[in-house]
Amino acid sequence: MNMDITMPQLGETVTEGTITRWLKQVGDRIEADEPLFEVSTDKVDSEVPAPAGGFVSEILVPEGETVDVGTRLAVVSDSAPAGGDGAAPAPAAAEQATATPPEEAPVAAPETPEPAQRAEPPRAEPAAPAPAPQPQPAAASAPAHAPAPAPPAPAPAPGPGANGDSLLMSPVVRRLIGERGLDPSQIRGTGEGGRITRRDVLAASSTAAPPASASPSGRAAPAPPAPAPSAPAAEAPREVAPARGDEVVPFDNIRRRTAEHMVRSKATSAHVYTSVEVDYERVERVRRAHREEWKQREGFSLTYLPFIARAFSDAVAEFPRVNASVDGDRLIVHHDIHLGIAVDLDFGGLIAPVVRNADGKRMRLLAREMRDLAERARRKQLSPDEVLGGTFTITNAGGYGTLITLPIINQPQVAILSTDGVHKRPVVVEGPDGEDAIAIRPIGVLALAWDHRAFDGAYAAAFLRRMRETLESHDWEAELT
């Protein structure tokens, strides 16, 4: 008996996913609930388990391919495949498998072209070229009503070597070739079946001479007919050709999506930064007193982060606009606090899983949930819904001893808090008799990036002052008993 493995619905708003890695190959034995493949969506990277045990008899979608929810990905059978490696996709999937090779997916290009691309006339699709390439200018300018040659009947499936449009390539690669003014017939495809990959285009671009259409003389290239360059040279990004010994590391899915989101955030929100110094002496005393008991009972160390999250929840009660989102020309103030905690994925990316209803939880429960989310994020075991719906985000680089970090707002939220390193420093404190004295105290910075559309500087400063007061004066001992 065979079982189809399809792209699962990994969240209410998720409609597609990219296969980033197959954890099993054709012929491998797999147990029920054992991870079968990794999938990347616009929300999260996850491992997907097999719904039943058996043998992987077919893999229909290669790594790097982006497909819709419900698409057949693989087949699991009761018995091992009879012969052959079975790695080739089934005929029905073969055509789909050529759409986007692993080197090109997932594609980070926006659906709407950049302004420079809008000026570019559309390039011909595979059915538009003449039946055979004619390099002579006369053939390119032949009138449309000429009796011969007549418009050809639909051609068979494109194959390598026919002409630029019939070479095997994805729409993304075709666009990249056009942007760089390259001749596809001069690019050697290293992908399956001679397919031109994104890597092939970048390699050709680093060694190719400027195309004739872009020559300073302004004369159009004689053949094939081509549109003018899509953007002035001043607007084109500067290309960097790798030197001997350089390592070329293509951006993966999480790097592309992070970049898209951060650039969009900077273009959307009027970013302002405000920071305060906090004396963590009161917090540190409680941490020292409960360090061993906490580690034994909870299984992990007690850090500053749960104290900061708890102080944030208290401060928001007085400054609710910090816990808000922008929707068009209006501000939506959230009265439930869904706290996103940025998690570093072992230097391989950043994700912010969400602690739901953080304002209704004591510090011990906050610490447990933040720890659980961070561990599952690093194991790629989060569901997309666990990173959705955050109303405020805390990013914590303090473990690396940073002084101050200026974070970028996590859209559509209006603020993000950076918690940096806590360092012992000499500070002036007021003694019991009211006189000033020098003391060594653990001091750290809280830095708030906020959206000037939501509130003003005085509001942000007052909010941070309230957080500082809570951290410096709250009865933290009672929180841990």
Q: What is the DSSP string of 353-420?
A: -EETTGGGS-HHHHHHHHHHHHHHHHTT---GGGGS--SEEEEE-GGGT-S-------TTBSEEEEEE
Four-point Cα dihedral 157, 162, 163, 166, nearest 10: 10
Count of other CB atoms within 10 angstroms of residue 262: 16
Catalytic residue among 4, 28, 33, 456: 456
3-state DSSP assignment of residue 468: helix
Peptide bond into 160 cis (omega under 30): no
As separate numbers, helices (DSSP H) first and strands (DSSP E) second, the chain gives 11, 18
Which of 213, 256, 208, 260 is CA-nearest to residue 233? 213
Which residues touch 353 (CB under 8 Å, ≥6 apart)? Answer: 340, 341, 343, 373, 374, 376, 377, 382, 386, 387
Residue with tokens 């940073």: 402
- Locate all alpha helices (DSSP H) within 127-235, ordered by sequence: 137-140, 171-179, 198-207
Distance CA 62, CA 197 (A): 14
Both tokens of 240, joined, read 């960097």
Count of other CB atoms within 10 angstroms of residue 376: 16
Residue 156 main-chain phi, psi, to 5 deg: -65, 175
* Residue 451 is a catalytic residue: no
Count of other CB atoms within 10 angstroms of residue 368: 16
3-state DSSP assignment of residue 446: strand
Catalytic residue among 290, 452, 474, 475: 452
Distance CA 441, CA 3 (A): 63
* Residue 474 is a catalytic residue: no
For β-strands 415-430 and 392-396, DSSP reports them as parallel
Q: Which residues pair with 472 in a beta bridge?
A: none
Which of 371, 466, 357 is CA-nearest to residue 417? 466
Distance CA 439, CA 426 (A): 5
B/e letters for 407-429, b = 16+ CB within 10 Å, e = fewer, are bbbbbbbbbbbbbbbbeeeeeee
Give yes or no for a contact between 424 and 244, defined as CB atoms under 8 angstroms apart. Answer: no
Give yes or no for a contact between 460 and 478, defined as CB atoms under 8 angstroms apart. Answer: no
For the annotated catalytic residues, the residue numbers are: 452, 456
